Amino acid sequence: MSLTVQRAPAIAAWHDTIDATLAGSLYAVESQLRLDCARVLVDAGCAVHVDVIVAADGTHIGVLPTELTRVLATVDPASVDVHIMLSPGTIAEPAVRAEVERILDDLARTGVHHVTVGRELLAAAHDALTAVRASGAHVWVELQPDDDGHGIPDVDGVLVMFIPSGTAGHADPACLDKIPALAERWPVGVDGGITAGLARAAADAGATHIVSGRALLRQEKSHPQGKEVAMSDVLPDTMRTSVLTGQRALAIEDRRVPSPAKGEVLVKVAAVGVCGSDVHYFRHGRIGDFVVDGPLVLGHELSGSIVAVGDEVDPTRVGQRVAIEPQKPCHVCDQCLAGRYNLCPHMEFYATPPIDGAFTGYVTIESIFAHAVPDNVSDEAAALLEPLSVAITTMRKAHIVPGSRVLIAGAGPIGIICAQTARAFGAAEVIVSDPVSERRERALAYGATRTIDPAAEDVANIGLDVDAFIDASGAPRAVFSGIQAVRPAGYAVLVGLGNPEMNLPIEHIQNKEVWVTGIFRYTDTWPTGIHLVSSGQVDLDSLVTGRFDLDQVEAALESDLDPASLKSIVYPNK
């Protein structure tokens, strides 16, 4: 189902019957195959067509700028043309205008053959496009299917779209009628659902540049007449999945790739973080009331890219890199309506019995819980936005504000992320308590201003008087002493998984009016997390100490036995 060099003979067949330049669209190919695809195309005498789609917030859909840079470093830039697409009216958005100008500025230095833009962008980015032209590249304008071509300004070529930009569906052959008149003035290209038959007809009508994706690069597929489809054309029928079949027992199974329902997206999984809850289910088969009583797929910290969407989801989201908020609430219960959807009694949460998780190739999720991430957030960091969301919820519960003094018990992954997040929220002092010296040293590198060995000092008796205590250890003694270290009317937040029952310093809680609460997952945290990571305030990438493929999930789940381990990542599709 994937493009390989063996597909070159299919390209050659087009060359034999079509008298025009053939350009293969990289948007039709999975991200990891795009460099190979570019090489195949150039070796076969074709051009490389790159769609760069800028969303309303300035982020990217389709081929990412980093991918474009790698393509231009791999093949002759003169064999590459770039099509910049925007949603109508979004050029007025400052983030969009800035990103478009940045892209054009970069392209002016690359030597690409031509850059295609819409009419709106042609006017709005006139100066930047002039610089592109001055570099020797050509500037083309796209014509949408309903654009008759009148009033085209001074350009070097015209790209006739047979399907509206950014969508998929059935090409409109009536667009062929525009080509002869346009070809009298400019080089004409065609794009959008171009099959071999349409390519031949377009070339006969005068088109000199034929852009095609799935039809040129793999077998032709048809869409139901009039039905818009937003799906990658390289989806396999099955996917490899790591399944927990019993305590400390895992098996690899082939399962069907799911289809997105109404309001959902299908995500190809890129990276999955190993959480303590995954390890607990693996070793013990339960966490409190959640009992593994059948096969279960673990993994709920994940990132990936959208490869298909269901009904009522914007089709331009296909290709978007996303971080997944791994839960599905009912949206209609009292808790959901109050904004506390994390407490929904009907919640379906990844990797929580009986709901499967993400140690697999593809997953579905409601589109609102697939959060777009910018280019400077890696797949690993995007996956770890899930534990960061736990930390963000903790900061909110602990009322961390600029100047706060915070005590954190436990310097494991959650404790370390909480230390960074506390500093990002403005905490002036972040004190971390942990009995392991190596962990205390690591905490200092991640935002702690002071560390304490609880075996040598009891935090309850050294006058800390902190504004907030955060337990990320689950240790009963750490909880008891930590609460005693809180100032009057301060806050204690219990995050760590510990004993189902433990003693609390009730006299201190009552006499000091200390607020004590737990946290259960999160609500509305991903936008904050994405900002903290993309702005450099929180570093998640350097937390990764182990990387594993799907056949090594057991090793990933046991990696916490190594004292140097912090976060392990599983790559299901490698």
* Residue 395: its H or E element: helix 385-397
Q: What is the pLDDT of residues 368-384, one digit of tens each?
A: 999 999 999 999 999 99
Q: Residue 227: what pLDDT?
A: 31
Tokens of 513: 């009016």
Q: Residue 169: what pLDDT?
A: 59
- Model confidence at 501: pLDDT above 70: yes
Domain-wise residue ranges, the chain: 8-211, 238-378+546-571, 387-526
Q: Residue 231: what pLDDT?
A: 44
pLDDT band with cut points at 50, 70 and 90 for residue 224: very low
pLDDT, average across residues 525-531: 97
Q: What is the pLDDT of residues 461-500, one digit of tens each?
A: 999 999 999 999 999 999 999 999 999 999 999 999 878 8
Would you tell me how many other CB atoms lie within 10 Å of the CB of residue 233? 20
CATH code reported for the domain at 8-211: 3.20.20.70
Q: Residue 362: what pLDDT?
A: 97
Helices (H), 341-384: 379-383
List the one residue out of 158, 225, 172 whose CA is nearest residue 201: 172
- Model confidence at 35: pLDDT above 70: yes
pLDDT, average across residues 299-316: 93
Percent of the chain with pLDDT over 70: 94
pLDDT band with cut points at 50, 70 and 90 for residue 170: confident
- Model confidence at 423: pLDDT above 90: yes
Distance between CA atoms of residues 444 and 424, nearest Å: 15
Topology of the domain covering 387-526: Rossmann fold (3.40.50)
Identify the residue with better confidence: 57 or 97: 97
Distance between CA atoms of residues 542 and 536, nearest Å: 12
Q: Residue 354: is the preceding peptide bond cis (ω within 30°)?
A: yes
- Residue 162's Cα: distance from chain center in Å? 30
pLDDT, average across residues 75-99: 88
Q: Residue 55: what pLDDT?
A: 78
Length of the chain: 574
Measured CA angle at 322 (ends 320, 325), to 5 deg: 145
Residues 6+ positions from 466 with CB-CB distance below 8 Å: 405, 406, 407, 429, 431, 485, 486, 487, 490
List the one residue out of 402, 406, 405, 428 whose CA is nearest residue 418: 406
- Model confidence at 210: pLDDT above 80: yes
pLDDT band with cut points at 50, 70 and 90 for residue 360: very high
Phi, psi torsion values for 422, nearest 5 degrees: -60, -45
Q: Residue 32: what pLDDT?
A: 66
- Model confidence at 515: pLDDT above 90: yes
Pick the CATH number of 238-378+546-571 from 1.10.3720.10, 2.40.30.20, 3.50.50.60, 3.90.180.10: 3.90.180.10
Asked which of 226-235, 357-366, 421-430 is least confident by mean pLDDT, the reply is 226-235
Q: Residue 218: what pLDDT?
A: 56
- Model confidence at 90: pLDDT above 90: no
pLDDT, average across residues 81-108: 87
Q: Residue 216: what pLDDT?
A: 79
List the one residue out of 154, 75, 156 whose CA is nearest residue 110: 75
Q: Residue 513: what pLDDT?
A: 98
pLDDT, average across residues 192-214: 90
pLDDT, average across residues 520-524: 96
- Model confidence at 232: pLDDT above 50: no
- Model confidence at 2: pLDDT above 70: no
In one-letter notation, the amino acid at residue 167 is: T
In one-letter notation, the amino acid at residue 380 is: E
Percent of the chain with pLDDT over 90: 70
DSSP code per residue over 194-247:
--HHHHHHHHHHT--EEEESHHHHS------TT----B-S---SEEEEEEEEET
